[in-house]
Amino acid sequence: MATIKSGTFRSLAIRNYRIWAGGAIVSNIGTWMQRTAQDWLVLTHLTQNNATAVGIVMALQFGPQIFLLPVTGMAADYMDRRKLLIATQTAMGLLALGLGVLTLTGLVQLWHVYVFALLLGCVTAFDAPARQTFVSELVGDTDLSNAVALNSASFNAARMIGPAVAGVLIAGVGIGWVFLINAITYLAVIASLLHLRVQDLNRTKRAPRTAGSLVQGFRYVWSRPDLKALFMMLFLIGTFGLNFPIYISTMSVTTFHVGANEYGLLSSTMAIGSVSGALLAARRARSRIAYVLSGAGIFGFGCVLAAVSPNYWFFGVVLVVLGIAAQTFNTTVNSTVQMSTDAAMRGRVMAIYMAIALGGTLIGAPIVGWVADAFGPRWSMGVGAAAGILAMLVGLRYMFRYRALAVKLVQYRVHFSLDGHEVHLREQRQREARIQAR
């Protein structure tokens, strides 16, 4: 058994991961700048504060994760992930460039944003599972959990910087320049991919191409109660909870009546919590389902507090808590799924993961946007609260049924124990063996 190393930043000791992380942080900042500018463009320039339009953009951008699922997972399992990422990152940069040119020339219309969001969603559908599984090639399984958490920290550190920078640029030079700067930032991650030492990558055995390989990923997940529970929780929170572009933009404009700078500051404020949550996850030697449950529960009750926020500053403080909870949940689910999945199946399983995590927006974003328009932004956050609490209940049901979770009252204190943990692991290994034998 490999020794589990400690240290929050231990994956950065690996040269390939360090190079990749350097390029990714630059690109991630650009990505968050564009997301902020795109939502502001739709909400304040192309519509009259129409949250439904923002929801449609989100749905078009994340919906292809579902429709292209049959091929994106197979691409991540069968193709060279490094070369695939170079292609997808290049395409993303060109799309940002095109939207920037349209905006700067004053020709941009709402349907243009819809088309670019759909095209970006199609490219992202191939990029996301390849990027998630490529981490294991950079660091190996021993440091996988730590690397996943550091990736999340990088993404959310960019989330802290990007929206604030975007707010300043929107007010100073205009939205179009934000899109162009994002296009340039893709050069950083492409350069990092080109400079990796290919011979040092931890290549895994590719899955054999068979007639049933397309549905094998679904069969694999269906045979695993733990993965089914995690994916159901992810669906609830990812679909109805993680719609913060709608929450933050509508609360900023229609509830607190603030401008672009304050809107960007709120997004960055939430990212403080997200970075904190990711770094806390990076310190942990192992992923535990208890962190998934606590993340879902705190997220649900945090949304309740956000919905009743009396002012802008209280809302910003609650966003920090929501950032920690959401990142604890997402990071732990991601690393748990990857570490518990056979390497040959990882691409297809992670494609299902990404389809649920991002593709659920196709359903949830228009609904949450409609709720915000029809009943107000505070009620839309109530939808997120219900999603978090339901996800926690799903996790508890799994724990009671499959992990023999016992709740005892000892000296007026509640104690939890997992009496069926070893039984669960043995049954899980037996199920995996049957799947691989087919």
The answer, yes or no, to whether residue 204 has pLDDT greater than 70, is no
The answer to whether residue 152 sits within a structural domain is yes
- Boundary of a domain, candidates 153, 170, 201: 201
* Residue the block writes with tokens 């953009």: 57
C-alpha distance from residue 100 to each of 31, 103, 153, 172 (Å): 13, 5, 28, 16
CA 201 to CA 17: how far, in whole Å?
10
Q: In this prediction, what percent of the chain has a pLDDT beyond 90?
A: 34
Contact between residue 26 and residue 155 where contact means Cβ atoms under 8 Å apart: no
pLDDT band at 421 (very low <50, low <70, confident <90, very high): very low
189 and 248 in a single domain? The answer is no
pLDDT of residue 276: 84
Residue 1 lies in a domain: no
Q: Is residue 2 part of a domain?
A: no
Q: CA-CA distance, 169 to 162, in Å (whole number)?
A: 10
Mean pLDDT for 310-323 is: 92
Distance in angstroms (rounded) separating the CA atoms of residues 163 and 31 = 9
Q: CB–CB of 65/121 below 8 Å?
A: yes
Q: What is the pLDDT of residue 3?
A: 44
370-399: average pLDDT: 92
The pLDDT of residue 74 is 81
- Whether 189 and 322 share a structural domain: no
Residues 31/182, Cβ–Cβ less than 8 Å: yes
- Report the alpha-carbon distance of residue 246 to residue 351 in Å, rounded: 25
- Cα distance between residue 331 and residue 230, in whole Å: 12
Determine the average pLDDT of the residues in 407-425.
52
* 181, 201, 221 - which closes a domain: 201
Whether residue 303 sits in one domain with residue 237: yes
Per-residue model confidence (pLDDT) at position 410: 59
Q: Which of 335-344, 373-382, 402-411 bottoms out in mean pLDDT, i.e. has the lowest?
A: 402-411
Count of residues in the chain: 438
Residue 74 sits in a domain whose CATH number is 1.20.1250.20
Cα three-residue angle 351-393-307, rounded to 5 degrees? 90
CA end-to-end span of the chain, whole Å? 27
pLDDT band at 208 (very low <50, low <70, confident <90, very high): low
* Selected residue with higher pLDDT from 89 and 268: 89
221-278 pLDDT, tens digit per residue, is 888 888 899 999 999 998 899 888 788 888 988 889 888 778 778 877 877 888 888 7
Q: Are residues 140 and 227 in the same domain?
A: no
The verdict on 390 and 280 lying in the same domain is yes
Categorize the per-residue pLDDT at 422 as very low, low, confident or very high, splitting at 50, 70 and 90. very low
Please check whether residues 269 and 174 belong to one and the same domain: no
Please indicate, yes or no, whether the overall pTM of this predicted structure exceeds 0.85.
no
The reply to whether 263 and 348 lie within a common domain is: yes
Number of domains in the chain: 3
Q: What is the mean pLDDT of residues 64-90?
A: 86
In the DSSP assignment, the letter for residue 410 is E
Bridge partners, 410 (sequence order): 413
Query: Quick one: how far is CA 104 from the chain centroid?
Result: 30
Matching residue, tokens 């399984």 = 141
More confident residue, 105 or 202: 105
Asked whether residue 6 is assigned to any structural domain, the reply reads no
Alpha helices per DSSP H over 105-143: 110-139
Buried (b) or exposed (e) across 217-238, using 16+ Cβ within 10 A?
beebbeebbbbebbbbbbbbbb
Question: Is residue 26 in some structural domain?
Answer: yes
Residue recorded with tokens 């940069």: 93
Looking at the structure, do residues 189 and 40 belong to the same domain, yes or no?
yes
Average pLDDT, the chain: 83
In a domain, 4, yes or no: no
Q: What is the pLDDT of residue 409?
A: 55
Let me know whether 422 and 300 are in one domain: no
Instruction: Note whether residue 73 is domain-resident.
Output: yes
Identify the residue whose tokens are 């550091």. 150
Asked if residue 135 belongs to a domain, the reply is yes
Cα 181 to chain center, whole Å? 23
Q: Would you place residue 193 in the very low, low, confident or very high pLDDT band (cuts 50, 70, 90)?
A: very high
pLDDT exceeds 90 at position 125: no
Same-domain status, 197 and 68: yes
How confident is the model over 145-171, as a mean pLDDT? 83
Same-domain check for residues 431 and 398:
no
- Give the pLDDT of residue 120: 93
Cα 204 from Cα 123, distance rounded (Å):
24
pLDDT score at 423: 46
Within this chain, do residues 430 and 385 fall inside the same structural domain, yes or no?
no
What sign does the CA torsion over 387, 388, 389, 393 have?
Answer: positive
Q: What is the pLDDT averaged over residues 192-200?
A: 92
* pLDDT at position 195: 93
Last-in-domain residue among 201, 223, 247: 201
Instruction: Determine the structural domain holding residue 429 and report its residue range.
Output: 407-437
